[in-house]
Amino acid sequence: MPHQFIEYDKFGFWEEFLCWRIGMKNLLVMANYNTWVNAQIFEVCRKISDNQYRKDLGAFFGSIHNTLNHILLVDILYLGRLKGEANDHIHSLKQVLYDDLDSLADARVEVDSKLTEYVQALHQNDLKTQVRYTRMSGEVCEENMEDILLTLFNHQTHHRGQVHTMLTQSGIEKSEMPDIDLVDYLASAKA
């Protein structure tokens, strides 16, 4: 236990903190949010030239295209791990699965649909199920389903933020960028 939490432990704070989980309702919100926001990001990508879309802008994966490919690739890896499916066709986190925007967008829609269906089929008790898998580095890991899903959604959000920045660097005006905060999704879902 980290030393900064020892004092709180006498009140059960640390144990309470570790036991808190996001739950089924919020995981489904995140799955639906990611589908919604991914569609908006791809729509904006269609407003820039192919050269801008593929230009290395200094992000970790270089271009918008490579970053969107990476997000999809990691989603496929994690979804496969959750389902117990091998992803032998993936050899690198920088692997480009789709060479053009249209194919990548179609695959994104398909994977988002599979991910949402997967989350919808889960029950609260499933979230604690331990999943054992081997990372690309060869490291064997074991995590519960809930933590894997949280990692997947957080990973998407992290790299989508990079894509958002690269789109504005590519000439998209801030006024042309959609509002992609979770609160915007929640408001649109209620409408």
| pLDDT of res. 100 | 97
CA distances from 183 to 26, 33, 39, 166, 190 (A): 13, 10, 17, 22, 11
pLDDT tens digit at each of 191 positions of the chain: 444 545 544 555 544 444 455 688 899 999 999 999 999 999 999 999 999 999 999 999 999 999 999 999 999 999 999 999 988 899 999 999 999 999 999 999 999 999 999 999 999 889 999 999 999 888 999 999 999 999 999 999 999 999 999 999 999 998 888 888 888 888 888 87
| pLDDT of res. 21 | 59
> What does the block give as tokens for 89?
């066709």
pTM of the prediction? 0.86
| pLDDT of res. 3 | 47
- 125 CB-side CA count, 13 A: 0
CATH topology for 24-190 is Four Helix Bundle (Hemerythrin (Met), subunit A) (1.20.120)
Q: Indicate left, alpha or beta for 58 from its phi (over 0: left) and psi (-120 to 50: alpha).
A: left
Q: Give the chain's radius of gyration (CA, Å).
A: 18
Domain positions in the chain? 24-190
Phi, psi of 123 (to 5 degrees): -115, 160
Q: How far apart are CA 17 and CA 127, in angstroms?
A: 17
Q: How far apart are CA 150 and CA 29, in angstroms?
A: 12
